[in-house]
Every structure is written in C-alpha cells, then in structure tokens.
Amino acid sequence: MELLDRYLNAVRFWLPPAQQDDIIAELGDDIRTQIEEREATLGRTLDDDDVAAILKQRGHPMLMASRYLPQRSLIGPVLYPAYVVVLRIVLLWVMVPVFVLIVGPIVIATAENPTIGAVQTVWNLAMAEVFTLGVVTLVFAILERRPLRELETWDPRKLPYVPKTTPSLDAGKPIPRATAIADFILGVVFTGVWLRLAWYRAGFDLDVLHVTLAPVWNVAYGAFLLTCLGGIALGWTSLVWPSWIRLRSTIRIVIDAVTVGAAGVLASAGTWWMLTSPKISAADLAQAAHWASVGMKIALAAVAIVSLIDVFQEARRFFGARQGSAK
Amino acid sequence: MHSRKMNPELFENLRLELRRGCLSVAVMVQLRVERYGYTLRKSLADAGLEVDEGTLYPLLRRLESQGLLVSEWREENKRNKRFYRLSPDGERILGQLLDEWQGINGSINRIVQGE
C-alpha cells in the first residue's frame, strides 16, 4: 500500500489544513475498498502496477484535491469583461502612445546612441506594461472580493444614453484595424526619422560628395512634418473610431493637400541643391546635378499625381459615405 | 444554411451540464437510506448513473455543508467509514426538487411531442 499512501500524501498537500484529515480518511477508505474489491475479483493481491493503474484512473493528486475545493477565480465572470476593457485601454491606448509619442522621443533624443535609446524605450514600455497589468489585476481582484452593491441598486434610467451618431461619419465600411495600426506606426516612424535625420539640415555628405540644400527646403521641413503627424492622427482616429469614414477621408485630403502644396513650392524653386566635391570634376558634378534635378522633377510630379488621385478617391469616399447614410 | 462540423466536446459539455442538477437529486434519493461513499456510487451505477468518485465526494460534502445531508464516521468491516443520509431539511427539499423535476420532465415531453 506504499503507493496508495504516497498518493494520499500528495493529495493532502493541496487540501486546506482544516479538511485534510477528513478528506484523506474518506478518500483512502474509498480507494482501499476499490482495491479489495478488485483483489476479490482477481483472486490475488494487487501488485504495484495494478494499484498504480487504479490511482492513475483517479487522477493527478492536484486534480483530485481541486475537486474538493470550491471553484475559485481571481476575477470572476461578472467583472472579467470590465477587466479586459480596462486592460485594453490602459495597456494599448494609454501606455503605448505615451511611450511612443512622449517617453520614446525624449529618451532617444537625449541618448548618446539612438539605437540604445530605442531599445531602452521598448524595454521600459515592456516593464511598465507588466507593472500596470499587475496593478490592474490586483485592483480587480480586490473588487471581486467585495460585495458589488451597484449590481443590486442599479437603475435602468441611469444607464448611459446611446450616442447620437453622426450618420455621415458612420456610413461606409469600417477601417480595418491592421490599416489603422500601420498608418499610426508609419506616421510615428516617419516623424522620428524626419526629426532625427533631416530636420533643418543645411546639407549632407555622401562619400566624396557634399550636398548643400537650397533655402526652399525650409518650407518642406514643416510641411513634411505636418504630413507625418497627420499619418499618426489618421492611424489613431481610425483605431478609435473605425467607422468614421468621413473623418479619415478629411484627414487624408488635408495630408494630400499639404503634400501637393509642398511639392508645388519645391517644384517652383527649380534648384534644390548644390553639389560640391574635392575629387569630382566640375563637368561631372554638373552632369550629376542635372540628373538629380530630373529625378527630383519626376519624384515631385509623381508625388503630386499620387496625392491628387488620393484626393479624388477620398472625396468620392467622403461623399459616398454621406449618400450611403441618407438611405 | 450555416453548417459546422459537430464538436464532440460540445455534446459532452452539454451532457455534463444536464447531469449536474440531476445528480444531486439522484444522490439525495439514494441517501434516504444510509450509505457510505463506495456503496452509494455502486447503487447509482446499478441504477444506470455512473459517477466518478472525484465528482461524488465533493458533491456529498457540498450537500452536507448545505445541511441537506448528515454524516457520521462508524466502523464497518474493521474500517472506519463515513456514512451519509438525508437530513430532515434534505427530505423536505428533496420533495420540492422531485416535484420540480416532474414538472420540468412533463414540460420537456410536451415541448418535444409538440414539435
């Protein structure tokens, strides 16, 4: 019976002290009775393998003990939906934007090495998320253990009103979450890159070539930053209000308008840079400047055309959404 | 038409849900006569209601803590055993539960026949 004793001892470990003796005595008697009955059927004493088979059929000691305990949960089914909503809001909609838009840029801008600063920001975000998760869980676990008087004293007349949605903003297919997240992340990345690498730079050194930027770029800095921030706003609003098609279209049209305007200002300048190099001949530099200018004209034209097409599409979506809602 | 491959766990879950309430009634009926756990389980099995011990003993404890059963440790065949039987409160509640069960059974039969 050594196996049985070991089994009972293992079950005992998981039981509340006040009930251990009682439950183990009854469980032990039940298993012993089963063993005796089996021995009577087989006409022999059970060996360890037979007893092990019986015990295995009874279940793991922890599982066996759990059946004697009341069902317990850290957060019960009543509060669980609220717990998930709060976690989603705090971890996703508060912590991430705070770290991406405020903490991250400060850490990266003040770090000696921007890459280390970025890694440090991600690590800090992860730690803050874990800490917040623990605090929110603890608060809900405490709430779970106090009587929820609100569930008995509630008044249907105090329920929040259904918001009066603006039909023109609600019409149309909701924006996929992946699109919204992509817009947001791209906006943040472009903003960071623009501020870090290009913000009001006088020029660039490319190997043996020095590029001095023309004054007209001063207009482009602000305009491009505006479009990047617009991308963040686009992603954010699409995440929070995925059905607000007209809001999204409006933001996109504004971004496109700023882009076309900046492209127009740049195109009107005609000269965008001056190339100098101690190792390249003046003729070769002139040739390089010519082809760079051709490339710039093509790029500006492409940007303007793509933006205008987008304006057209978004305008159609904007008015289509309004017509759709009027039905 | 929406068709979905039947999940075998689904039936098992519904079956267990259906059995859960019935099992309490069956145990209370069987404990109109004093029994200990092992013989109770056998009597239920003989009546066609197999119950594993991991379900039965916790149920007995719950019913006892609710005052529906009483138990005492007594020696039988040179071994201490815990004998259970229905308490006076248990008798009263069982009567009400059986009435309820008859009512539900009748309703289900009428609903099924009315299909």
Asked whether this complex has an ipTM greater than 0.90, the answer is: no
Q: Does A59 touch chain B (CB under 8 A)?
A: yes
Of B37, B61, B73, the CB nearest to A30: B37
CA distances from A29 to A79, A214, A242, A261, B92 (A): 41, 94, 63, 88, 31
How many folded domains does chain A comprise?
3
pLDDT for A92: 83
- Our CA-based measurement puts residue B108 at a distance from the nearest CA of chain A, in whole angstroms, of 29
Q: Do A58 and B53 touch (CB under 8 A)?
A: yes
Q: How confident is the model at residue A170 (pLDDT cuts 50, 70, 90)?
A: very low
- All residues at 6 or more sequence positions from B1 whose CB lies less than 8 Å from its CB, including other chains: none
Q: What is the mean pLDDT of residues A251-277?
A: 85
Domain that residue A52 falls in: 2-68
On whether the CB atoms of residues A307 and A256 are closer than 8 A, the answer is: yes
pLDDT for A109: 64
The one-letter code for the residue type at A142 is I
Of B36, B54, B81, the CB nearest to A59: B54
Q: Is the pLDDT of residue B55 over 50?
A: yes
Q: Do B53 and A68 touch (CB under 8 A)?
A: no
Q: How confident is the model at residue A208 (pLDDT cuts 50, 70, 90)?
A: low
Q: Is the pLDDT of residue A297 over 90?
A: no
Q: Does A67 touch chain B (CB under 8 A)?
A: yes
pLDDT for A112: 72
Instruction: Nearest chain A residue to B76 by CA: give it.
Output: A29
Q: Is the pLDDT of residue A169 over 60?
A: no
Q: How confident is the model at residue A206 (pLDDT cuts 50, 70, 90)?
A: low
The answer to whether residue A158 sits within a structural domain is no
Instruction: Nearest chain A residue to B40 by CA: give it.
Output: A30
CB pairs under 8 A between A and B: 36
- Our CA-based measurement puts residue A171 at a distance from the nearest CA of chain B, in whole angstroms, of 28
pLDDT for B46: 93
Domain boundary at A88, A117, A148, which?
A148
Same structural domain, A121 and A240: no
Q: How confident is the model at residue A177 (pLDDT cuts 50, 70, 90)?
A: confident
**Three-class SS of residue A275?**
strand
Asked which of A103-117, A254-268, A302-316 is least confident by mean pLDDT, the reply is A103-117
Same structural domain, A211 and A291: yes
| Token pair listed for A148 | 């929820």
Same structural domain, A116 and A62: no
pLDDT for A220: 79
Of A27, A32, A33, the CB nearest to B57: A27
Residue B36: list chain A partners with CB under 8 A: 29
On whether the CB atoms of residues A113 and A138 are closer than 8 A, the answer is: no
User: What is the Cα–Cα distance from B68 to B61, expressed in whole angstroms?
Assistant: 10
Domain boundary at A123, A148, A173, which?
A148
- Report the mean per-residue pLDDT for chain A: 81
Instruction: Nearest chain A residue to B82 by CA: give it.
Output: A26
pLDDT for A327: 36
Residue B61: list chain A partners with CB under 8 A: 23, 68
Residue B82: list chain A partners with CB under 8 A: 25-26, 29
Q: Is the pLDDT of residue B97 over 90?
A: yes
Q: Do A29 and B54 touch (CB under 8 A)?
A: no
Same structural domain, A261 and A139: no
Same structural domain, A46 and A82: no
pLDDT for B44: 94
Buried b (16+ CB within 10 A) or exposed e, B80-91: ebbbbbbbeebe
Residue B73: list chain A partners with CB under 8 A: 25
Q: What is the mean pLDDT of residues A120-146?
A: 88
Same structural domain, A222 and A309: yes
Same structural domain, A249 and A323: yes
Q: What is the mean pLDDT of residues B40-66?
A: 91
pTM here is 0.52
Asked which of A57-66, A200-209, A313-322, B28-37 is least confident by mean pLDDT, the reply is A200-209
Q: What is the mean pLDDT of residues B76-104?
A: 93
Asked which of A10-14, A297-301, B2-6, B53-57 is least confident by mean pLDDT, the reply is B2-6
The one-letter code for the residue type at B90 is G
pLDDT for A10: 94
Q: Is the pLDDT of residue A324 over 50?
A: no
Same structural domain, A139 and A177: no
Same structural domain, A221 and A261: yes
- All residues at 6 or more sequence positions from A42 whose CB lies less than 8 Å from its CB, including other chains: A50
* Residue B105: Cβ within 10 Å count: 10
- All residues at 6 or more sequence positions from A95 whose CB lies less than 8 Å from its CB, including other chains: A125, A128, A129, A132
User: What is the Cα–Cα distance from A64 to A14, expressed in whole angstroms?
Assistant: 9
Of A59, A63, A68, the CB nearest to B57: A68
Nearest to A175 by CA among A236, A253, A226: A236
pLDDT for B7: 76
Tell which wins on pLDDT, A97 or A2: A2
Same structural domain, A10 and A41: yes
Chain segment A222-254, per-residue pLDDT in tens: 888 888 888 888 888 887 887 788 888 888 889
Instruction: Nearest chain B residue to A61 by CA: give it.
Output: B54
Same structural domain, A112 and A204: no
Nearest to B70 by CA among B60, B58, B80, B59: B60
CA distances from B38 to A67, B14, B32, B52, B54 (A): 17, 27, 16, 10, 12
Instruction: Nearest chain B residue to A60 by CA: give it.
Output: B54
Q: How far is CA A75 from the centre of its chain?
A: 23
Residue B35: list chain A partners with CB under 8 A: none
Give A134-187 as a DSSP string: HHHHHHHHHHHTS--THHHH--GGGSPPPP---HHHH-SPPPPHHHHHHHHHHH
Q: Do A33 and B73 touch (CB under 8 A)?
A: no
| Token pair listed for B53 | 């011990």
The answer to whether residue A311 sits within a structural domain is yes
Q: Determine what percent of chain A is predicted with pLDDT higher than 90.
A: 17
Q: Determine what percent of chain A is predicted with pLDDT higher than 70.
A: 88
Same structural domain, A77 and A53: no
The answer to whether residue A154 sits within a structural domain is no
Asked if CATH classification 3.30.470.10 holds for the domain at B15-113, the reply, yes or no, is: no
Q: What are phi and psi of B69, to 5 degrees?
A: -125, 155
Domain boundaries, chain B: 15-113
